[in-house]
Amino acid sequence: MASILGTLTSLPAYTLFHISWLLHSLRRPLILVSLLCLLSNPSAAIAKCKLFYTTFLYLAFCQDKKFTIPKDDASQHFSSEFGGTASSAPSSFKTKKVIVIRHGESTWNDTFNPGGRNIALFILFYIPNMIKAILTEAYFFVSGKESESWFFDSALSTKGVKQIEGLRKFLQKEKMRLGSGNFMDEREEVAIQELLNVGSSTGNSMVVSSNLRRAISTAAIGLSDRFAAAQNKHDDTILLLPSLQEISFNPDAQTILPPGGMAHPTWCDTTIPGVPVEKFSGLIDTQYHTGNKALDSTGLIRLNQFVSDVFSSKCEKDVIVAVGHSLFFRSFFQLFLPRSVEHISKKKKLVNGGTVMVTLGEVTLEDGKNVYMIDPKSIVVVYGGFGKHTKK
């Protein structure tokens, strides 16, 4: 038994040794081929080099995660009917429904996080998977594919696509139940209608997404039936909101898409049911995309900007379907639920593909400042859930 374990633990080292030896032996032809490829497409090479440089800056100086949730909350400005402590609702009180969806697993997660995989197998194949990721990234670099990357602004992994296909199939199944009276919670039926943009609520919702590729692909794949049914409607698109960009300084949280640029499909966007690949770029509205988050930005700044965006002219519909990220959404619940409320959303991340609907309130104070709060009673899990508490 000991000899078997010794062999297993030594496999990654043997693999790394042989790969290193091979790369060292081929270093000259590899360098020459790389130079030729880079010279053939200098703009792509410059774009990639800028991305490497930006990533170094963020790893060294980014303040994104260096914030704390303020002790004071907005519950004092909202009525008790909404979960607050005020005796009555102020005249400026407004509400919108927000349906949040977490993206599927990314290629970054596939390389660095075990996910639901066996820990022993993850460790055993960690080095080979890392080598595969590095070689893939090197291929994208030398071949001039400036809008593709394994590590930077990482796309959905194969597992991630399957997770979001699961959400799509769930919505297809639930669509058949609409109007049947078989929903235990009528809020779930409302959420399904809004996600699919069908029934009496048609035209009442819009889809917004983080400016990172895995979130964009999640919106396009998971809600593909919605967009397929609205191919001739130019108002049903995926609007990118930079405020939804993930709270992290890692390379996978840096957007590749230039400000106001055209979003190109990744490998997983080429077979979206009902949405031809040539129409993918037209599906993504980048008018508010201003590029990567500022180096001195923090998650708290973008969380406050997001809720402001929800009630702004950018989001003119009554229901906002927001596709984003785990840390961002966990912080969203921590910041905008009353401090006195204990809820799993404050402690656990949404699972990949997890979908939850809430009612978000806005109150304008006398000094003109807007404050926001989630109605604790409005939280309904539509698909997936938080942590291991999943619903399908």
Identify the pLDDT of residue 37.
63
What pLDDT, on a 0 to 100 scale, did the predictor assign at position 280?
A: 85
pLDDT tens for the chain, residues 1 to 392 = 444 444 434 444 544 555 566 556 656 766 666 666 666 667 777 777 788 888 888 888 888 998 999 988 889 989 888 988 887 777 789 999 999 999 999 998 888 887 777 788 888 878 888 888 888 887 887 777 777 888 889 999 999 999 999 999 999 999 888 877 777 788 888 889 999 988 655 568 999 999 999 999 999 999 999 988 876 555 789 999 999 999 999 989 999 998 988 888 888 777 777 677 778 888 999 999 999 998 889 999 999 999 999 999 999 999 999 999 999 999 999 999 999 999 999 999 999 999 999 999 999 998 889 999 999 999 999 999 998 655 65
Per-residue pLDDT at 217 = 94
The Cα 44–Cα 176 span in angstroms is 47
Which residue from 181, 182, 179 is spatially nearest to 200, judged by alpha carbons?
A: 179
- CA distances to 72, 73, 298, 299, 356 from 69, rounded to whole Å, are 9, 9, 12, 10, 21
Helix (H, G, I), strand (E, B) or coil at 356: strand
Q: Reduce the DSSP state of residue 297 to 3 states and report it.
A: coil
The pLDDT tens digits for 366-375 are 888 999 999 9
Instruction: Tell me the H-state helices in 62-185.
Output: 107-112, 119-124, 126-142, 158-175
Which pLDDT does position 285 carry in this prediction?
A: 94
* Residue 104 DSSP one-character state: P
Q: Which domains does the chain have, with CATH numbers?
A: 2-64+113-135 (no CATH), 75-106+154-391 (3.40.50)
Say which residue the tokens 């080099």 belong to: 49
What is the model's pLDDT at position 313? 94
Supply the pTM of this predicted model: 0.86
Specify the pLDDT at position 22. 56
> Quick one: 180 exposed, middle or buried, by C-beta within 10 A (0-12, 13-18, 19+)?
exposed
How large is the C-alpha radius of gyration of the chain?
23
Cα dihedral value 57, 58, 63, 65, nearest 10:
-160
Give pLDDT, residue 18.
52
Q: How many CA atoms are closer than 13 Å to the CA of 115, on its beta-carbon side?
A: 17
- Helix or strand or coil: residue 270? coil
Rounded CA separation 217/162 (Å) = 12
User: Could you give the C-alpha distances from 136 to 39, 125, 150, 152, in angstroms and in order?
Assistant: 20, 16, 7, 12
* C-alpha pair distances (Å), 323 with each of 79, 163, 209: 29, 14, 5
Residue whose C-alpha is closest to residue 268's, from 237, 224, 226: 224
Task: For residue 232, give every residue at least 6 positions away whose Cβ sits within 8 Å of its Cβ, in sequence order, or none.
Answer: none
> Do residues 197 and 175 touch, judged by C-beta distance below 8 A?
no
User: Residue 154 in contact with residue 106, Cβ under 8 Å?
Assistant: yes
